[in-house]
Amino acid sequence: MTIALGFNCQDGIILCTDSLESDGTSKVKVNKIWCYETEGQWGISAASAGEADFVESFNDNLAELFTGEHFDKDWILATLRQAINAARITYPDLRWSALFALFGPSPMDRKLLRVSEFSKHIAPVARYEALGIGSCLAKFLCSQMFSLFMGIDEAAELATFIALQCIKHVDGCDLPISLLSWRVGQTGWAPYHPQEVQKIIDRLHDENLRKNLLDYWRAQTPHLVRVHTYDQLEQGGFVKFRRAVALKPKRSKRTE
């Protein structure tokens, strides 16, 4: 399972994923963003959600297809379509979706693309996209928080925040979080070091999120009478306890 996020910003592209790979029995941590670049020319990257064995073989196939060619956007997209079509024909029941990011020599060459589950079509992403488990939660948060003129620095922190919420509230994804960026004017991908991502996480406090949600809720419902403010959310660590409020009459013994 995976949560994969992509942001198409005014000044670049952000890709973000979690790191959990699970077969339902065992769990391992893997790197889920694959990227390739020809320095000074162009680059392509992929963040997939689906069966781990297929994703690994698909990325290996891309690594064999893209090996130092000069930038040709039509050829790159045609090659990517062929790889996707071949995968769909070979595995018709495959549950797989992916985000692809592409940059070229000109800022006009950059693209953020998606392939949905069971689809062969590569669709452009104008602003943001979320794939995989937890994507409904991620898309809701994106719709409320992503803005048209957001830059990649802010988008990187937003992606981390949203991925973190999926990790905390949706089963099937886990830390650490991977981040990849490309900024207009750069000639290569810029992966975030895990320590950089951890610094972002350290700035995000759950108690602030809960407080802000409660403040909003109270402001919208001033007509309600509250016994207490329930600011503290206490979960786990308690015992389910039940007590009888009265004794039942003793049962009479039956005699023969």
Instruction: Give the per-residue pLDDT at 227.
Output: 77
Strand residue runs (E) in 93-204: 96-103, 111-115, 123-124, 128-132, 178-183, 190-191
CB 66 within 8 A of CB 41: no
C-alpha neighbours within 13 Å on the C-beta side of residue 153: 0
Counting Cβ atoms within 10 Å, is residue 58 exposed (0-12), middle (13-18) or buried (19+)?
A: buried
Q: Which of 28, 8, 49 is nearest to 134 (CA)?
A: 49
Instruction: Give the per-residue pLDDT at 47.
Output: 98
In order of start, what are the domains of the chain with their CATH numbers?
3-208 (3.60.20.10)
Question: What pTM did the predictor assign?
Answer: 0.90
Using CA atoms, how far apart are residues 13 and 11, in angstroms rounded to an integer? 7
Per-residue pLDDT of the chain (256 residues; tens, 9 = 90+): 689 999 999 999 999 999 999 887 889 999 999 999 998 899 999 999 999 999 999 999 999 999 999 999 999 999 999 999 999 999 999 999 999 999 999 999 999 999 999 999 999 999 999 999 999 999 999 999 999 999 999 999 999 999 999 999 999 999 999 999 999 999 999 999 999 999 999 999 888 998 899 999 999 999 998 877 677 777 777 888 888 888 888 877 665 5
Contacts with 89 (C-beta within 8 Å, 6 or more apart), sequence order: none
Q: What angle do CA 153, 159, 160 make, to 5 degrees?
A: 95
